[in-house]
Amino acid sequence: MIDISMEMEQHDCPFIDTTLDHDVSFSAVQWEFDVSNHELETRMVVQGASRSALNNGMTALREHSNMYNYQLRKRWDDTAQIRTVIHETDAMDRIRSHDGFITGPFYIEDGSELWHVGFDSAGVADKALSELDHNNEFDVMSRDEHGGPLVQETVTNVNAGLELVDACRDLTEVEREALKAAVDQGYFESPRGTTLNELAEQFDISAPAFSKNLRRGQQKVTRHVVQTLESLSESDTDGLDDGPFGK
C-alpha cells in the first residue's frame, strides 16, 4: 500500500475557505462518506484565536455555499465541536475514483489542509495525483510504502487520543482543578502524599465537597478511558474501514 501525506489547497472546500478569512483551525474527530448522496459528514473540533474569531469563523462556515448541514454540538470559550455535512469536493472525487482512502485524521489551518491518503499501488497513486493536480494545489510531504497493520495502528492510536482529549474537555473547571491538585500532590499514590482535608483547605471548601468534585471528574475521565480501551480491543480484530471517502 502507498501512504501519502500532503498539504492540500482545495478551491471548493468550506473549511479551507473559512481559515483563509478567519483565525480558526479545524481538526477532524470523526468522518463518514455517504456514497449515494456524495456527501461527507464530519465531526470537527474548531479552535479560534479568540472567542470573537471562533464566532466569526463558525458563522462563515455555516453560510458557505458548499455547506449542506451544520450543527454546533459543544463549546468551551474559544473552542467548539461541530457536526457538518458538505457536498463532495473535486479532490474527494479524484481520490475516490482511484479507490483511494484516508489513512489518518486531517487538520485545516491558514488555507491549507493536511491529508493522509492511501492507494493500493504506486501506479494508481501516480494517476490519482496527476488528476488531482488539474483543479487543486497540493504538495506531497511524504510518500511511503507499507502494509495495512501499521496504518491501522496509527489511526487507532490517534482516534484513542482524540477520545481522551474530548474527555478532558468535558470536565468543568472545578473538576479539572480538583483532579490536577490530587494528582500533583500525590493523593492517588501509595502511601498518599496528601489528604482530602488538606486538599479541601486549599480550595476553601469542606472535605465532602472536594471529594464530590473529585469523584465527578474521575467518573467522566474513567468512562472515556473504558470506551477507549474497548475501541482498542475491537481494533485488534476488526479490519481498517474504508475511511471518510468510502469505496
Q: How confident is the model at residue 33 (pLDDT cuts 50, 70, 90)?
A: confident
The H-or-E segment that residue 131 falls in is helix 122-132
Asked if residue 85 has pLDDT above 80, the reply is yes
DSSP states of 24-64 as a string? EEEEEEEEEEETTTTEEEEEEEEEESSHHHHHHHHHHHHT-
pLDDT of residue 87: 87
pLDDT of residue 240: 46
The H-or-E segment that residue 221 falls in is helix 207-235
What length does the chain have? 247
Kindly report the pTM of this predicted structure: 0.58
Domain 154-235: CATH class, spelled out: mainly alpha
Stretch 18-23: mean pLDDT: 94
Segments making up each domain of the chain, as ranges: 2-145, 154-235
How many percent of the chain have pLDDT more than 90? 40
The residues with which 83 forms a beta bridge, in sequence order, are 43, 71
How many percent of the chain have pLDDT more than 70? 82
Q: Would you tell me the crossing angle of helices 51-62 and 14-21 to the nearest 10 degrees?
A: 140
Tell me how many degrees the CA angle 117-245-100 measures, rounded to the nearest 5.
Answer: 40
Q: What is the dihedral of CA 182, 184, 188, 192, to 10 degrees?
A: -100
Question: CA-CA distance, 139 to 219, in Å (whole number)?
Answer: 44
Copy the grid coordinates of residue 210: 472536594
Q: How confident is the model at residue 34 (pLDDT cuts 50, 70, 90)?
A: confident
Grid cell 458563522 in the structure block, residue: 59
Residue 98 one-letter amino acid? H
How many Cβ atoms sit within 10 Å of the Cβ of residue 115?
Answer: 24
pLDDT tens per residue, range 159-184: 555 566 666 777 889 998 999 999 99
Q: What is the DSSP letter of 11?
A: S
More confident position, 18 or 34: 18
CB 95 within 8 A of CB 113: no
pLDDT tens per residue, range 215-232: 988 888 887 777 666 665
